[in-house]
Amino acid sequence: MTSGFSSSRRASPIGVFDSGVGGLTVLRALRQRLPAEAMIYLGDTARVPYGPKSPGTIIAYAREATAYLLSQGIKLLVLACNTATVQALDVIRREWPDLPIVGVVEPGAEAAALASKSGRIAVIATEGTVAAGAYNRAILRRRDDAQVTARPAGLLVALAEEGWVDDDIARAVVHRYLDPILAEQPDCLVLGCTHYPLLADVIREVIGPDVALVDSSTTTAAAVAAELDRRHLSAIPGAGATRYLATDGPARFARLATSFLGEPISAEAIELVTLSEPPRPLILAARA
Ligand code: DGL
C-alpha cells in the first residue's frame, strides 16, 4: 500500500493511535518530550476494548486507523496501544513501508530490562498481548537471564475507561490480579497496556515501594524523538497543537482526557470520525 508520504514534512503532525483513552498516557509523555510537535490523537472509542479481540480484527482496525491518520497528513505513527502493537505493527509496517512507526512494546521491554535487578519481571497486559508473548520475547532479547511472567488483567481497562481509578473497587480488582503475581516476588512490574498507568497510584499502593513500576510512555516518547531525529523530521521550535479524534462519545472522551492530561478539553474540541477499511482489491464471489 502506498501512502504518498513525503519525508520532508517536518511541520506535519505525529499520529497517535489507541483503542480508547488509555493512549493519552503516551500522548502526555510525547507532549512533554516533544512540545514543538503537532499531534493528532485518535481513540477508537466506538470499538474499545481491543484486548479480547482476535488478531484479524485488530489488524483490520489498525489498518483503518492508519489510513485515516495518513489522510490527515501525519509524518510518523505511534501505535500507543499494546494490543495493536503486538498484533498489527508488522503488518502496518509492511503495508506502509515509507511511514515511520513506533510501537509501545519494545520501549516498554527496554525500560523493564534496565529497571530490574533480579531479572524477575512481571507483566500485566490484555489477553491478546499476553497470548502473543510479545513482552516475554522482547525482554528476553535484552536480558537472557530474565524470568518473565505475563498475566492478563483485562478488567483494568474498563476501570480506566470509566474513570474509576482510585477507589475501593479499583483497589479490590488490582489486588485480585496482583496478589498471585507478587507471590512470585518480581522486582519489576511492567504495565503492558496503555490504560493501566491511569491506575498507577493504586497499583503502587498494592505492590509497595520496592517493586519498580514500568510503563512504556516515557521510553516510547524517547524512541519517537530518536526516530524523528534520525529521519530529519523534527519540527522547528514552537508550540505544537494537538487535535483529538474519537470514533464515539466526544463528551465522555473530553471528560476523561481532561483528567488524564491535566488540562481542560471541551467536548466541542473532539472531532468525531468514522473509520472504514482502506480500499483493497475487490474479490467477487462466484454466484451459483
Ligand atoms: N489500548 C489497549 C492496550 O494497550 C488496552 C485497551 C483495549 O483492550 O483496547 O493493550
- pLDDT on residue 284: 52
pLDDT of 208 over the 70 cut? yes
| 190, pLDDT greater than 70 | yes
* Side chain identity at residue 182, one-letter code: L
**pLDDT value at 152 more than 70:** yes
pLDDT tens by residue, 34-89: 999 999 999 999 999 999 999 999 999 999 999 999 999 999 999 999 999 999 99
pLDDT (tens digit per residue) in 109-126 = 999 999 999 999 999 999
Q: Could you count the other beta carbons within 10 Å of the beta carbon of residue 128? A: 25
CA of 8 to the centre of ligand 1 (A): 32
Same fold yes or no, 14-103+219-272 and 106-216 = yes
* pLDDT at 4 > cutoff 70: no
Q: Is 236 helix (H, G, I), strand (E, B) or coil?
A: coil
**Distance of CA 20 from the midpoint of ligand 1 (Å):** 7
Q: How many angstroms separate the Cα of 280 from the Cα of each of 90, 94, 96, 157?
A: 18, 15, 14, 32
The domain spans of the chain are: 14-103+219-272, 106-216
Average pLDDT, the chain: 91
Mean pLDDT of 154-162: 88
Q: Is 188 noted as a catalytic residue in this protein?
A: no
| DSSP-assigned beta bridge partners for residue 102 | 78
pLDDT at 263: 83
What is the CATH T-level fold of the domain 106-216, as seen in this structure? Rossmann fold (3.40.50)
Query: Residue 30: exposed, middle, or buried by beta-carbon count in 10 A (0-12, 13-18, 19+)?
Result: buried
Question: Is 193 known to be catalytic?
Answer: yes
What is the rounded distance in angstroms from the CA atom of residue 110 to the CA atom of residue 105? 9
CATH architecture of 14-103+219-272: 3-Layer(aba) Sandwich (3.40)
Closest CA to 100 of 139, 74, 120, 121: 74
CA distance 235 to 11: 5
